[in-house]
Chain A
């Protein structure tokens, strides 16, 4: 008798609690349909409760997002004009005071609970999702892989040199995105090349180091605000570290075809000689571009690198040593934040105006 009553009491109680929670969920977490208006276009309706980023992606508006909505990259900034609610603590880490005053928010943290109006950059509306097939993959250093992706749907991509794509990384739960710069020149529209450095535990690099030729890869793009100055007399200064080689390759291979007489300087920083990549390729490019100067700088040369005849030290020191002061030029930096900060300081010493310096931080 006691067993029966114990079981009965527990079941009834458990059932009552569960029913209560389901009712509360229906009542409290149900926000109803919400109209989202982007850039004064026709508003579209979503079921409230999800994040703004998810709502936009469901509508195939692919704003940049490197961390897949976790609130750790700060890429998904949008300007919310109304309906966004208060700024959350998780967003404040990535927003400056002026941005908050302007209504700039992180789309992955804003929950859609009511009608929302927002503004995004017009070129984000042109970003598409592409599917491609891996046609080739090879290691160019011990930890960096060059991957060739042939586009299948849509068959062509229009991008500027220096832009990046976001590769969709299949993961348990929601797919996540990781950003990689395009390393092939824009003249080639039906394929893109990516350079991926293996990061231990990194979900994107692990995936891209495992895909084999024949595998299908999806990505969105192109993203990136860098615009190459078309002036053939403006000197182009590229300063890169680690995987920052990718956009440089795109820019310089593009110039080798479009403006081979353009004065260019490439400064590339690596730790040891085995981290330096594309030495032969740039040697070949220098033959086609008489005014291209390439400097590799090793910051921690190993003992086996005694035969290294290039520079040693940090890459920004090479810039200081080899760049003349003044002159019409444009600078493109791509590398870790410390490298970019140091290089910006050197460029200021050489009288390069801040608005002529573009930096891609990762």
Chain B
């Protein structure tokens, strides 16, 4: 039991630092670039992504191992070819739920994040995490999946907030006209990714 917890903790740390879904695998870039303009939207988006990633990872883990896999308890037939379809449906439904909850409980955040919430549906970071966690080479259990989902979400949150801080300073910097806005943002992302490479070897995933 304690070794599973250890593994889970290691996975959590690795997902945030070494195998950052955004900076190491470059998934989820479009919403990252759009939302990292202000700190407020970065926080909101990061938390939303974390929440959705953890919940959908757990849900999809249950569905994958309970229904889709060959010999699964609920359906013995091998239905793994339905994986992407099922995962996307679950993510989409879940995001819809999150949007409704936002609108009910925090209209200001709902207005601020506006278009980005539906974008989480097709955010490849979330689908990426879901698909990676069922990778047979890793053989994640439930706890490891939860840790991986949480770690990826937090890694996304970390990268987005750091980016927001940097971009707020970039607004006052003397950037060449051709690079202003997205150009310099992407360059800075690359530099951040190189910085995060420094974590390589800290934990092995």
- A and B held together in a complex: yes
Which B residues touch A24, using CB under 8 A?
Answer: 96-97, 100-101
Our pick among B63, B75, B107, B108 for the contact of A5 (Cβ within 8 Å) is B75
A9 touches B104 (CB 8 A): no
B79 touches A9 (CB 8 A): yes
Which A residues touch B103, using CB under 8 A?
Answer: 28-29
A21 touches B89 (CB 8 A): no
Which B residues touch A29, using CB under 8 A?
Answer: 100, 103-104
Residue of B nearest to A16 (CB): B93
CB distance from B82 to the nearest CB of A (A): 6
A14 to B77, CA, bound (A): 19
The prevalent SS among residues of A at the interface is: helix
User: Does A342 have its Cβ within 8 Å of any Cβ on chain B?
Assistant: no
Which A residues touch B3, using CB under 8 A?
Answer: none
A88 touches B100 (CB 8 A): no
B104 touches A10 (CB 8 A): no
A61 to B108, CA, bound (A): 27
Which B residues touch A8, using CB under 8 A?
Answer: 75
A8 to B74, CA, bound (A): 12
User: Does A89 have its Cβ within 8 Å of any Cβ on chain B?
Assistant: yes
Which B residues touch A20, using CB under 8 A?
Answer: 93, 97
A28 touches B104 (CB 8 A): yes
Instruction: Assess A10 versus B100: contact at CB under 8 Å? Given A21-B93, A89-B111, A89-B112.
Output: no
A28 to B105, CA, bound (A): 9
Residue from A8, A13, A85 with most neighbouring chain B CB atoms (10 Å): A13
Which B residues touch A113, using CB under 8 A?
Answer: 107
Which A residues touch B112, using CB under 8 A?
Answer: 89
Within 8 A of A (CB), among B75-103: 75, 77-79, 81-82, 85-86, 89-90, 93, 96-97, 100-101, 103
Residue from B77, B78, B108, B112 with most neighbouring chain A CB atoms (10 Å): B77
User: Does A202 have its Cβ within 8 Å of any Cβ on chain B?
Assistant: no
A9 touches B97 (CB 8 A): no
A41 to B191, CA, bound (A): 62
Instruction: Assess A2 versus B77: contact at CB under 8 Å? Given A9-B67, A10-B82, A10-B85.
Output: yes
Which A residues touch B90, using CB under 8 A?
Answer: 13, 17
A17 touches B93 (CB 8 A): yes
CB distance from B106 to the nearest CB of A (A): 9
Our pick among A5, A25, A88 for the contact of B79 (Cβ within 8 Å) is A5
B100 touches A9 (CB 8 A): no
A340 to B188, CA, bound (A): 45
A88 touches B75 (CB 8 A): no
Within 8 A of B (CB), among A152-180: none
Which A residues touch B97, using CB under 8 A?
Answer: 20-21, 24
B100 touches A28 (CB 8 A): yes
A8 to B78, CA, bound (A): 13
B77 touches A5 (CB 8 A): yes
Our pick among B81, B86, B111 for the contact of A13 (Cβ within 8 Å) is B86
A13 to B63, CA, bound (A): 9
A29 to B103, CA, bound (A): 8
A10 to B63, CA, bound (A): 11
User: Does A86 have its Cβ within 8 Å of any Cβ on chain B?
Assistant: yes
Which A residues touch B63, using CB under 8 A?
Answer: 13
Instruction: Assess A85 versus B107: contact at CB under 8 Å? Given A2-B77, A5-B77.
Output: yes
User: Does A6 have its Cβ within 8 Å of any Cβ on chain B?
Assistant: yes
Which A residues touch B81, using CB under 8 A?
Answer: 6
A111 touches B107 (CB 8 A): yes
B67 touches A25 (CB 8 A): no
User: Does A212 have its Cβ within 8 Å of any Cβ on chain B?
Assistant: no
A111 to B82, CA, bound (A): 41
Residue of A nearest to B96 (CB): A21
Our pick among A10, A14, A18, A90 for the contact of B111 (Cβ within 8 Å) is A90
User: Does A58 have its Cβ within 8 Å of any Cβ on chain B?
Assistant: no
CB distance from B2 to the nearest CB of A (A): 36
A88 touches B108 (CB 8 A): yes
User: Does A321 have its Cβ within 8 Å of any Cβ on chain B?
Assistant: no
Residue of A nearest to B68 (CB): A9
Residue of A nearest to B93 (CB): A17
Additional A-B contacts beyond A28-B101, A29-B104 (14; CB < 8 A): A2-B77, A2-B78, A6-B82, A8-B75, A9-B86, A17-B93, A20-B93, A24-B100, A28-B103, A28-B104, A29-B100, A86-B108, A88-B111, A89-B111
Shortest 10 CB-CB contacts between residues of A and residues of B: A17-B93, A5-B77, A28-B104, A28-B100, A88-B111, A86-B108, A24-B97, A2-B77, A24-B100, A89-B111
22 contacts between A and B (CB under 8 A): A2-B79, A5-B77, A6-B77, A9-B67, A9-B75, A9-B79, A13-B63, A13-B67, A13-B86, A20-B93, A20-B97, A21-B93, A21-B96, A24-B97, A28-B100, A28-B103, A29-B100, A29-B103, A29-B104, A86-B107, A88-B107, A111-B107
